[in-house]
Chain A
Amino acid sequence: MMLVLLGFAALPTLWVLILSLREQSAIFEPIWESPLAITLENFFSISRSDFPRALMNSFITAGGSTALAMLVGVPAGFALAKSRVSGKFIASWILLLLRMAPPVGFVIPLFLLYVNAGLIDTYTGLIVAYMTLTLPLIVWSMWNSFSQVPDELIEAAIMDGASLTKAFLLVALPAARPGAVAAAILGFLISWNDFFYALIISRSSTSTAPVAVMNFISFDSVDWGSIAVASMALTLPILPLMAIANRYIVQTLSGAVKG
């Protein structure tokens, strides 16, 4: 049973590896008929294409939106965790709602706004669009992280004469650092993986990697070798992040549910 499931999980990955190494002429032959028709040509040809640039665009936009959302979202999470205002249930519902809202609802008004403001096909446009994804996620998970920092710690710092800002920067933030790292990683991943926003908001000069892969599919042919290499290039850079974030994903997504 476990072996069948392991096959389901792992064999498609093996298939991508095979596909990436196949010679163009042998790609439609079963691997057992021409096992030696193997080449690195797909890797070389993709490095000469526009795809590396698209990967760079992905790094810039995902990194930019994560950095900005952290700058705003971390203090916001702190404020929500430690203030004693009512209406927190509403806030948590709104944050949840924003994470669950259909992206098409965000994209339509943003698209019209961008057409008028000249933000189509710009880094700024994409970064701002991604903040609609990253900000609710980061506020939500920082809210969770900061509520696990004991109130006494912050009160003690204030008692010792620290301002609220100082207490936040020097006491609460260091205590919530693992959560902040996880929030940043999750924010980066969600932007990196995005296809929908980039499809509509970016054009050739800022097109991110997930959209640029589609260029290997033309009207009458599909360049499967390049698609396989591109799929690997899309996944490999985020594997280390996934490895770090792995246990936090469980905490933020299952733990965060406890607000």
Chain B
Amino acid sequence: MIVPAVLAVGLFAIVPLAGMLALSFSDYHLIRGTNWKYGFHNFARLISDQRLLNSIYVMAVLSIFGVAAQVVIGTAVAVGLNKIVGKWRLGRVLFLLPYAVPHVAVALIWLSLFTPTLSPINAFFNLFGITVPAFLTTQNGAMFAIVVADTWTNFPFTMLIILAALQGISTELEEAAALDGATRVNTFIFITLPLLVPALLMVTLFRFIDSLKHFPMIFVITKGGPGRSTQATNFYAYVQTFQNSNVAYGAAIAVFLFVFAAVISFYVARLNQRVSS
């Protein structure tokens, strides 16, 4: 039974990855084809590529701010919901709904909310004579828009995991702390939070690795713009491959991103092993 399993996973995963690796050393161009020149030229080009540098910066900003917002908001909602019992528990559904919306739809919803002529947010502030800035016309504003959309759809995931972890914590400890005169804030910081660390760590890593794959949000909300300023690395590889037809160079960027993900997932896998044993 092991053999077909290995073969299947190999066929569907290892083969494309081997293809990507082979391409990254080639000179394959979608229109010009190839002269069968193999070497490190794509990787040499990577090192001095300003656009790659910018893409890493964008990826870092989107990942760090997005994941931080999702963990903070998800934890806050989980702590709030954990206290709610009775029929109001059904209110959870409202918090979970954004998680069910496919990413393209999420991106389109937030594109509409960030379109000044259409957005009810702009219209609302206009009532008070306040003009909301056009976010999508600057790099920082555009990155902010992507982070908001990403946070909206993904905080329910952190919420679910943290809520599950909270329900595993016995209330006795918190009650004992309260009896000893600890304030609610202190109880949360010194009793609850340390017990949440494994769940928080896991959720942060999962969301972080996922956030390296940003695509639909960028494609729909900013198209990588204004200019080329919000092309995160995954998106930049797409641009090089399918817009500039530079398949070999696109593959080299993908290899770079892949190695990065491999290192992180190695630590995640080791962390799992330690948690389980």
Contact (Cβ within 8 A) A250 B5:
no
Known: A79-B2, A108-B20, A135-B12. A10 touches B265 (CB 8 A): no
Contact check, B202 vs A164: say whether CB atoms are below 8 A apart: no
Interface status of B146 (Cβ within 8 A of chain A): no
Given A12-B98, A109-B20, are A80 and B202 also a contact pair (CB < 8 Å)?
no
Q: Total number of A-B contacts with CB less than 8 angstroms?
A: 246
Note all chain A residues with C-beta closer than 8 A to B19.
108-110, 112-113
- Identify which of residues 148-182 in chain B touch chain A, using a CB-to-CB cut-off of 8 Å: 152, 155-157, 160-161, 164-165
A233 to B25, CA, bound (A): 43
Residue of B nearest to A256 (CB): B272
Secondary structure class of chain B's binding surface, majority of residues: helix
A78-119 interface mask toward B, CB cutoff 8 Å, 1 = contact, 0 = none?
A: 111001010001001111111011111110111111000000
- Say yes or no: A195 contacts B247, CB within 8 Å: no
Do A213 and B80 have beta carbons less than 8 Å apart?
no
- Choice from A18, A109, A214 contacting B16 with Cβ under 8 Å: A109
Is A238 an interface residue, CB under 8 A from the partner? yes
Give which listed residue, A72, A98, A195, contacts B8 with CB less than 8 A.
A72
* CB <8 Å contact, B102 and A104: no
CB-based nearest A residue for B117: A28
A136 touches B9 (CB 8 A): yes
* A223 smallest CB distance to B (angstroms): 11
- Contacting pair A128 B12 (CB below 8 A): yes
With A102-B258, A258-B275 already in contact, the answer to whether A30 and B16 are too (CB < 8 A) is no
Q: Say yes or no for A132: interface residue by CB 8 A criterion.
A: yes
Specify which chain A residues have a CB less than 8 angstroms from the CB of B255 in the assembled complex.
105
Rounded to whole Å, the gap between the CB of A164 and the closest CB of chain B is 7
The reply to whether the CB of A49 lies closer than 8 angstroms to some CB of chain B is no
Residue from B101, B105, B237, B257 having most chain A Cβ neighbours under 10 A: B105
The answer to whether residues A5 and B109 also contact, given A100-B264, A101-B261 and a CB cut-off of 8 A, is no
Specify the chain A residue showing the minimal Cβ separation from B208.
A100
B193 close to A (CB within 8 Å)? no
Which of A36-44, A152-160, A176-184, A224-232 forms part of the interface with chain B?
A224-232
For chain A, residues 144 to 189, give those with C-beta under 8 angstroms from any C-beta of chain B.
164, 168
User: Interface code A11-51, partner B: CB below 8 Å = 1, 0 otherwise?
Assistant: 01101101100000001101100000000000000000000
Residues of A within 8 A of B237 (CB): 102, 104-105
Q: Is the CB of A13 within 8 A of B120?
A: no
Q: How far is the CB of B234 from chain A (nearest CB, A)?
A: 5
The 7 closest A-B pairs by CB, nearest first: A109-B19, A76-B5, A231-B105, A30-B123, A105-B254, A258-B276, A210-B104
Does B137 lie at the interface of the complex (its beta carbon under 8 Å from any beta carbon of A)? no
User: Which residues from B are CB-within-8-Å of A16?
Assistant: 109
* B194 at the binding interface (Cβ < 8 Å): no
Number of chain A residues whose Cβ lies closer than 8 Å to a Cβ of chain B: 83
Asked whether A136 lies within 8 Å of B13 as measured between CB atoms, the reply is yes
Q: How far is the CA of A105 from the CA of B257 in the complex (A)?
A: 9
For residue B65, CB closer than 8 A to chain A, the reply is: no
Residues of B close to A76: CB separation below 8 A: 1, 4-5, 8-9
Question: What 16 new A-B contacts, CB under 8 Å, besides A12-B110, A231-B105?
Answer: A73-B8, A92-B273, A93-B265, A93-B269, A94-B13, A97-B265, A100-B265, A102-B212, A105-B20, A106-B20, A128-B12, A193-B102, A195-B219, A210-B102, A228-B112, A242-B100
Residues of chain B within 8 A of A52, CB atoms compared: none
- CB of B52 closer than 8 Å to a CB of A: no
Please, how many angstroms separate the alpha-carbon atoms of A147 and B20 in the complex? Answer: 33
> With A6-B95, A103-B234 known to touch, is A195 a contact of B254 (CB < 8 Å)?
no
B251 contacts A108, CB within 8 Å? yes
